[in-house]
């Protein structure tokens, strides 16, 4: 499959998920959003039928107050934009980590980077500090600790040591997060962080979203510039050295980019596992191993994957939303098991 066809399919998947989220019925009412209503809103039509209760008795007994359709539409558009941004960040991060470590089973989640960033955000919540800085520090801590574990590990093979080290780190950071919350968190922060740990696409401001897209653009350009070197590095370090480049510098820069992307995604939506595992592997299978083609495809594919997951998280309950992390964890676990059983070497 060529890149143009893959891009078209990814766009169709994104439109499917976005349409499903937008057209979901307004909770607790008989009024679904439809394209006629959306068209009227876009044209500035003020004569729009607002949500009504399922029956008149509910309005009298509960003093039911309608919430404007415009409010629901604004929230859902922001959720779709947030899911697109976070999916792109995590997918690109996973692609870069897989390329650096030459292992299709690694991702920000399986290496413990997401867990370290989550611990940083938990500390920021307790200390009432901005989340992103401590999330980035936690991600860097996870990466440096993982390198130390791989160096001293007695397990044969770097790939196996990475996976086992990531599992150990993930368990350690999860335990540390809950310990911090238990010792220093109040009831409100515990409930907030517990829901956030399951992955939640909430009410993110447009300012944060614009900053996130700016970050994605800068990091994406840097990754695309490094792509030819990473393609050579995937073959061997000697080949990269023969071209006059330092493999250590290339690895460190790429890991730093991946950590920046992961930390920002975690600071916005919490712990979303396996996005950085599923999307790069699927697209590598579809479009081939060339990184200059995979980087834009992963950005689009990650956005589509998480928007579809957001739509699925809306389906089980009429009056609520299932945490999106539950959906990504379920899909990612099945995909991870498939990779383990298939035992396909990195290409």
Strand partners, 32: 25
Question: What pLDDT sits at residue 26?
Answer: 62
pLDDT tens digits for range 79-120: 899 999 999 999 999 999 999 888 888 889 888 888 899 899
Q: How far apart are CA 258 and CA 252, in angstroms?
A: 10
**What is the maximum span of the chain, computed from C-alpha positions, in angstroms?**
79
Question: What pLDDT sits at residue 47?
Answer: 45
| Listed residue (12, 109, 110, 91) closest to 301, CA to CA | 91
Domains present along the chain, CATH in parentheses: 77-342 (1.10.3470.10)
Q: How far apart are CA 168 and CA 313, in angstroms?
A: 29
Question: What pLDDT sits at residue 64?
Answer: 44
Residue ranges of the chain with per-residue pLDDT less than 50: 30, 46-48, 50-51, 53-54, 58-66, 345-347
**How far is Cα of residue 166 from the mean position of the Cα atoms in its chain?**
18
Residue pair 290/104 in contact by the 8 Å Cβ criterion:
no
pLDDT tens digits for range 278-291: 999 999 888 888 89
């Amino acid at each position: 499959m060529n890149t143009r066809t893959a891009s078209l399919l990814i766009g169709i998947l994104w439109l499917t998920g976005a349409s499903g989220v937008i057209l979901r019925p307004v909770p607790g009412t008989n009024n679904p959003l439809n394209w006629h209503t959306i068209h009227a809103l876009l044209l500035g039509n003020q004569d729009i039928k607002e949500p009504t209760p399922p029956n008149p008795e509910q309005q009298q007994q509960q003093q039911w107050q309608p919430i404007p359709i415009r409010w629901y539409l604004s929230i859902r558009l922001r959720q779709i934009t947030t899911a697109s941004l976070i999916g792109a960040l995590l997918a690109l991060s996973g692609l870069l980590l897989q390329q650096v470590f030459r292992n299709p089973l690694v991702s920000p989640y399986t290496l413990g980077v997401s867990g370290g960033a989550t611990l940083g955000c938990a500390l920021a919540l307790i200390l009432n500090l901005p989340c992103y800085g401590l999330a980035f520090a936690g991600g860097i801590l996870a990466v440096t600790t993982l390198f130390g574990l791989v160096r001293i590990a007695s397990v044969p093979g770097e790939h196996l040591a990475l996976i086992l080290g990531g599992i150990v780190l993930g368990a350690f950071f999860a335990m540390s997060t809950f310990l911090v919350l238990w010792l220093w968190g109040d009831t409100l922060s515990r409930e907030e962080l517990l829901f956030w740990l399951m992955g939640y696409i909430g009410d993110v401001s447009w300012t944060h979203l614009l900053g996130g897209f700016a970050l994605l653009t800068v990091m994406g350009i840097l990754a695309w510039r490094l792509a030819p070197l990473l393609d050579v590095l995937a073959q061997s370090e000697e080949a990269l050295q023969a071209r006059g480049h330092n493999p250590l510098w290339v690895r460190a820069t790429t890991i730093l980019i991946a950590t920046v992307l992961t930390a920002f995604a975690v600071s916005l939506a919490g712990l979303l596992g396996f996005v950085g595992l599923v999307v790069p592997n699927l697209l590598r299978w579809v479009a081939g191993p060339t990184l200059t083609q995979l980087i834009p495809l992963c950005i689009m594919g990650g956005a589509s994957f998480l928007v579809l997951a957001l739509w699925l998280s809306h389906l089980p309950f009429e009056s609520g939303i299932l945490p999106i992390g539950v959906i990504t964890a379920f899909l990612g676990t099945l995909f991870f098991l498939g990779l383990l059983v298939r035992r396909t070497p990195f290409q």
